[in-house]
Chains A and B, each alone.
Chain A
Amino acid sequence: MKAWLKFLPTIVNKAIMSDAIKIYDIDFNILRAHINPRGGKMLVEISGPQENECIQYMEEQGIEVIPIMRVVQKDSEKCVDCGACVSLCPVKAICIQDDWGVEIDNQNCIGCGFCVNSCPTKAISLME
């Protein structure tokens, strides 16, 4: 699953994440991070059999976990299905459908933002 993890300033220095990874043996992938001494937030992908336990642990340690369904959002009113974004996605999350419409698969998206900057009609935005 993908989730935003929010840290309060009091815990930014603690090694909660590495503990969580060790204890629950999960795959952990940081997609985006904004962290400073005043706290911060991180967009991560967590997967593994003990995913739920791991999330519970993080919450107990004071991290706010906000699961998300979408990393990017495409405004279908603005999108003209030109396909300019398709070849720029490093994980092939953007595909041209059978009807030649362009769709983004949020499951695969890692939130790199390439498509956001390349869209001629500014149809794609990163979700905060």
Chain B
Amino acid sequence: MKTIQEINQKIKNGDAVVVTADEMTSIVAQNGAQKAAEEIDVVTTGTFGAMCSSGAFLNFGHSDPPIKMTKTFLNGVEAYSGLASVDAYLGATQPSQNPEIGLHYGGAHVIEDLIRGKEVELIADAYGTDCYPLKRVETSITLDKINQATMVNPRNCYQNYAVAINSTDETLYTYMGTLLPKFGNVTYSSAGTLSPLINDPYFNTIGMGTKIFLGGAEGYIISEGTQHATENERRNGVPVSASGTLMLQGDMKKMNPEYIRGATMPKYGPTLYVGAGIPIPILNEEVATRTAISDEEIICKIIDYGVPRRSRPVIRETNYKELKTGKIEIDGIEVPTSPLSSYKRSKMVAVELKEWIEKGDFLLTNPVRPLSSKGNIVKPLEISKPLVMVKDIESKPVIMAYSGEKINDVAKKLVDNNINHLPVVDNDGKLKGIVTSWDIADGVAKGKSKLDELMTRKVIIAREDESVDIIARRIDKNNISGLPIVDKENIVKGMITAEDISRLIGENLKDENGGESI
């Protein structure tokens, strides 16, 4: 048994024994936890990953004449300034206001630019008061020039996370990176054995007020992060899904761009890569055992991001040892894996923190209170206005073509009903394909006579239990005018068109605003 005070004394004397979490795994495997607990004083952890829930409080200082900023933009990215007069919170995921830049530059990039010492354009508007008469400022700032810049990240360092895959036929662009169709790749984002909260899974040492490494500078744990969860299934002590989180703070003026990077997940948006590391004091054998966890013992679940719902289906379980080999087997097929957090930089964080402690520059802190380790369940947001589901739509009786039908008859159906596509079904009403007037013209020109030969077999469909909003996005994304509705048995129930949807959304808008549009 050791105390933090004793460990700090050793650090001051320059004889504390500090190792990184991956080193600890092999030390305990070789010498056992008891011996390791006696010999090792501190284990350093590290992670460097995309952490969307990050940002910074900036205090710009007062201008002369003074202004009470209400709308604030930094390099064209809005920062929330509904607090006092010259404070703003710049969120990492806020995209640029300029539609030509959009997702390519956001709050995260502004944060990186500031840390790099670059000049950033500040434009703020105000309504003007007796004490703050100025209505607009346009100036440029640098990190040095502004009064304060405090990074405050509401949710960082997730304790484990889902692993992503995509079962659909289309490429998906997500916060888990680009997911190729038909199980084409797998992405994961935890640093595994180095990951801070995995090394102290019951928060025996980590708590409110713990001093940490944040972005290359000293930072602190403010509290549990948002969406902190403690009740998920655990294996080897570690939750198998996204669980504990941290709210962190640090002085941006002391940070290093090596450990804070603005990034854009393609077609998803800006996010901040944050390097964070937590020192774990090895107070006893129990703590030592926990820090010895190996990649193989950290279990996680591969989730199908092709299902755009809050709870997505689990494809299979895996562990970080397997993921880090670069490939994984799904249904007998080898699928390549990509980490999204950098193990290289995670290790750099753990090593740098280790060096700070060894040099005596960084002392450990006693937490003011431990992080909550019981009773935290993330509550969902219920949408009080029920979602309109596809099956709720009154679709017109659907006109269909049968796979055996003659082309001439199908052409007549299209013309008579003044439509340009028809779902093709078999005798049981099951969807087989779709045919457009263009397919018919093309087929006739090529001398084809059977519908089977010219229809498109790959059909984008709407399922009865999907919400209309999801279908609206699908129509938009695929640039189509409508799609067939099918039930669980693949039997065609109707057609839903872009017009149906805009009519629905139009009606909804009217309900909300008493018939007036905004």
Q: Are A88 and B339 in contact (CB under 8 A)?
A: no
Question: Residue B187 contacts which of A87, A95, A100, A101 (CB distance < 8 angstroms)?
Answer: A87
Interface residues of A in 26-75 (CB under 8 A from B): none
Distance, CA A120 to CA B103, complexed state (A): 11
Of B154-162, B259-267, B476-484, B496-504, the one touching chain A: B259-267
Per-residue 0/1 for B402-440: is the Cβ within 8 Å of any A Cβ (1 yes, 0 no)?
000000000000000000000000000000000000000
Kindly state the separation between the CA atoms of A128 and B50 in the bound complex, as whole angstroms: 31
Q: How far is the CA of A83 from the CA of B185 in the complex (A)?
A: 12
Report B168-188 residues with CB < 8 Å from chain A CB: 177-178, 180, 185-187
- Please provide the chain B residues from 249 to 275 with a CB less than 8 Å away from any CB of chain A in the complex: 261-266, 271, 273
B338–A100 CB distance below 8 A: no
Instruction: For B342, give its contact among A83, A114, A117 (CB under 8 Å).
Output: A83
A residues near B185, Cβ cutoff 8 Å: 87-88
Given A80-B48, A86-B336, do A99 and B344 touch, yes or no (CB 8 Å)? Answer: yes
Q: A84-B187, A120-B263 are known contacts. Are A101 and B344 too (CB-CB below 8 A)?
A: yes
Name A's B-contacting residues (CB within 8 A).
Answer: 80-88, 92, 95-96, 99-101, 114, 117-118, 120-122
Fill in one digit per residue for B127-141: 1 if any A CB lies within 8 Å of its CB, else 0. Answer: 000000000000000
Q: Tell whether, in the assembled complex, residue B336 and residue A82 are in contact, meaning their CB atoms are under 8 Å apart.
A: no
* Contact residues in B for A81 (Cβ distance below 8 Å): 342-345
A55 to chain B, nearest CB (A): 34
| Contacting residue for B347 out of A87, A100, A118, CB 8 A | A100
Instruction: Using known A-B contacts A81-B345, A101-B344, A118-B178, determine if residue A87 contacts B266 with beta carbons closer than 8 Å.
Output: no
The 24 listed contacts between A and B (C-beta, < 8 Å) are A80-B273, A81-B345, A82-B49, A82-B342, A83-B338, A83-B339, A83-B340, A84-B178, A84-B187, A85-B338, A86-B339, A87-B187, A87-B335, A87-B337, A88-B185, A88-B338, A99-B344, A100-B343, A101-B344, A117-B178, A120-B271, A121-B263, A122-B104, A122-B264
How distant is the Cα of A99 from the Cα of B345 in the complex, in angstroms? 10
Give the dominant DSSP class at A's interface: loop
Shortest A50–chain B CB gap in Å is 36
Asked whether, in the complex, the Cβ of A88 is within 8 Å of the Cβ of B180, the reply is yes
Asked if A84 contacts B344 (CB within 8 A), the reply is no
Chain A residues closer than 8 Å to B265, beta-carbon distance: 120
Report if A120-B342 is in contact (Cβ < 8 Å); known contacts: A87-B186, A88-B180, A100-B347: no
Inter-subunit contact B342/A80 (CB<8 Å): yes
Q: Is B341 an interface residue (CB 8 A)?
A: yes
A20 to chain B, nearest CB (A): 34
B313 adjacent to chain A (CB < 8 Å): no
- Is B515 part of the contact surface with A, judged by Cβ < 8 Å? no
Instruction: Tell me which residues across on chain B come within 8 A of A114, comparing CB atoms.
Output: 178
User: Judging by beta carbons under 8 Å apart, are A96 and B50 in contact?
Assistant: no
| Contact, CB under 8 Å: A84 / B338 | yes
The chain A residue with its CB closest to the CB of B271 is A120
Chain A CB count within 10 A is highest, among B187, B264, B339, for: B339
**Most chain B CB neighbours (cut-off 10 Å) among A99, A100, A120:** A120
Is the CB–CB distance between B261 and A87 below 8 Å?
no
Nearest CB in chain A to that of B177: its residue: A84
Bitwise interface map of B from 86 to 104 toward A, beta carbon under 8 Å scored 1, else 0: 0000000000000000001
Q: What residues of A have a CB within 8 angstroms of the CB of B264 in the complex?
A: 120, 122
Q: B347: nearest residue on chain A (CB-CB)?
A: A100
In the complex, whether B326 has a CB less than 8 A from a CB of chain A is yes
**A-chain residues with CB within 8 Å of residue B178 when the two chains form the complex:** 84, 88, 114, 117-118
In the complex, what residues of A have CB within 8 A of residue B347's CB?
Answer: 100
What's the nearest-Cβ distance from chain B to residue A103, in Å? Answer: 11
Q: Once bound together, how far apart are the Cα atoms of A15 and B23, in whole Å?
A: 62
Residues in A with CB closer than 8 Å to B48 are 80
The answer to whether residues A82 and B337 also contact, given A88-B178, A88-B180, A117-B266 and a CB cut-off of 8 A, is no
Q: Say how far B428's CB is from chain A's closest CB, in angstroms.
A: 39
Q: How far is the CB of A109 from the nearest CB of chain B, in Å?
A: 16
